[in-house]
Amino acid sequence: MHGVVRQLIACNRRFGPLLSTRLLSNDVTLTKERYPNLSRKEFSPLTDKDVNTFESIVGKGNVLQSDLEFYNTDWLKTVRGQSEVVLRPESTEEVSAILKYCNERTLAVCPQGGNTGLVGGSVPVFDEVVISTARMNKVINIDPTAGVLMCQAGCILENVDKALSQHDLMMPLDLGAKGSCHIGGNLSTNAGGIRLIRYGSLHGSVLGLEVVLANGDVINNMNPLIKDNTGYDLKQLFIGAEGTLGFITAATIKCPTKPNSVNSALIAVETFADCLKILSLTKKHVGEILSAFEFLDLASRHLMLENLELPYPIAESPFYLLIETSGNLHLNITCKEYSQEVMDMIEPYVYDWTRGRDGSISAEHGLVLLVVVELFYVMLPNAVVLDNIEMYYLIPVMQL
């Protein structure tokens, strides 16, 4: 259910309030007040000298000390930190210099990506120095042959996906917050997303990482090899560690081929047990082309209808399933032996059904003689002139 609700929340960013009226930053409870059992450790307070040092590392324009509401407040506006400075480094070297200095000065830090998290983990608890990856947004390399991406941690997920699509590739991850979340944040939280069921978690997709440790040391493990058994697989420690073990600055990710077609189905279901049965049946009969299987309950449906004012194409039901397949669906009808009578019954129905849904009768194998004569079912009259097919395809066409 999380994936669908996350998508609804992402829609809310464009269309208006979904869960509650947006609050002003000062109305949001301080994190330390919401969680009174948390105590600030013996970290040093920020000084003007610290700010001057940061300016010498990242430049004066990239040390922010005002208008910090976005960086201090989580997106759901449930918790708020009190950071007095936000740093915006552009390179791994700058992150290394910042962390080395903060470690020597005993200054607490808070790594931050797109700040799209829903559990308050991306904002300061007290007055930590926020280190934003917003300027670390370069795609380092895309290898179309190997299907491997190298990028900085501040790249926005949707932007990377668009860059990959130019090479017929895509990210193995898709989220409702894809328009603003950062790759580094995705890795630090081991984000799942709606493609998890097909491509697995990021533990399996990430080939290498570049990480800066708390003392400023850099671990460069950006190896693009899909199989590497030389020693411990250190990158796995940082995926899902939420910045507690190190600051991810870049990543190497294995990216799947972009599918030629995507098909979706919305199903109304009466019981949760039936939802599980449908999942099992879908895995069995659809197989590897199953790319997403999302669960939605009636309460979530009401939220969508009431707040986004969208029409709903299906009757009210306790549960809903949103199923997506990536790749062509093959219709196979079997009988004891070939029967032209059966074929004559099936083909008009299939073609009419496909035409009514703006589909294609030849999405994979191209146009052969058997298909060409049926093109009129699904193509607009001015798109296909049967008299010209013989000239273009060099095959005889029957007069209809």
Name the residue with higher pLDDT: 346 or 133: 133
Mean pLDDT of 297-305: 86
* Among 252-266, 267-281, 343-357, the least confident range: 343-357
**Best mean pLDDT range from 3-17, 161-175, 315-329:** 161-175
**What rounded mean pLDDT belongs to the chain?**
83
pLDDT number for residue 357: 67
Cross-strand partners of 149: 142, 253
* Among 73-77, 326-330, 342-346, the least confident range: 326-330
C-alpha 145: how far from chain center: 23
- By the 10 Å C-beta count (0-12 exposed, 13-18 middle, 19+ buried), 210 is classed as buried
- DSSP conformation class of 179: T
Q: Are 324 and 291 contacting, i.e. CB atoms less than 8 angstroms apart? A: yes
Interatomic CA distance for residues 222 and 219, integer angstroms: 9
**158-192 exposure pattern, b = at least 16 Cβ within 10 A, e = fewer:** bebbebbeebebbbbbbbbbbebbbbbbbbbbbbb
Interatomic CA distance for residues 91 and 112, integer angstroms: 15
pLDDT number for residue 16: 40
Name the residue with higher pLDDT: 154 or 339: 154
Name the residue with higher pLDDT: 76 or 380: 76
Let me know how long the chain is: 400
pLDDT number for residue 362: 55
24 falls in which pLDDT band (50, 70, 90)? low
- DSSP conformation class of 53: H
Query: pLDDT digits over 178-224, tens only?
Result: 999 999 999 999 998 888 888 899 999 999 999 999 999 999 999 88
Query: pLDDT digits over 222-250, tens only?
Result: 988 888 888 889 999 999 999 999 999 99
Query: pLDDT digits over 89-125, tens only?
Result: 999 999 999 999 999 999 999 999 999 988 888 999 9
Name the residue with higher pLDDT: 400 or 283: 283
**83-122 exposure pattern, b = at least 16 Cβ within 10 A, e = fewer:** bbbbbbbbebebbbbbbbbbeeeebbbbbbbbbbbbebbb
Mean pLDDT of 367-395: 46
pLDDT number for residue 165: 95
Q: 340-349, long-range: CB within 8 Å, 24+ apart, which pairs?
A: 347/374
Q: Are 109 and 129 contacting, i.e. CB atoms less than 8 angstroms apart? A: yes
- pTM, full prediction: 0.75
Mean pLDDT of 278-293: 88
Cross-strand partners of 104: none
Q: Are 194 and 82 contacting, i.e. CB atoms less than 8 angstroms apart? A: no
Interatomic CA distance for residues 219 and 151, integer angstroms: 16
330 falls in which pLDDT band (50, 70, 90)? low
In order of their start, the domains of the chain are: 18-132 (3.30.43.10), 139-254 (3.30.465.10), 262-326 (3.30.70.2190), 340-393 (no CATH)
Q: Are 295 and 351 contacting, i.e. CB atoms less than 8 angstroms apart? A: no
* Among 23-37, 175-189, 282-296, 365-379, the least confident range: 365-379
C-alpha 388: how far from chain center: 45
For residue 380, pLDDT beyond 60: no
Interatomic CA distance for residues 372 and 390, integer angstroms: 10
DSSP letters of 257-320?
Answer: BPPS-EEEEEEEES-HHHHHHHHHHHHHHHGGGEEEEEEEEHHHHHHHHHHH----SS---SEE
Interatomic CA distance for residues 344 and 351, integer angstroms: 11
pLDDT number for residue 63: 97
Name the residue with higher pLDDT: 153 or 3: 153
pLDDT number for residue 328: 64
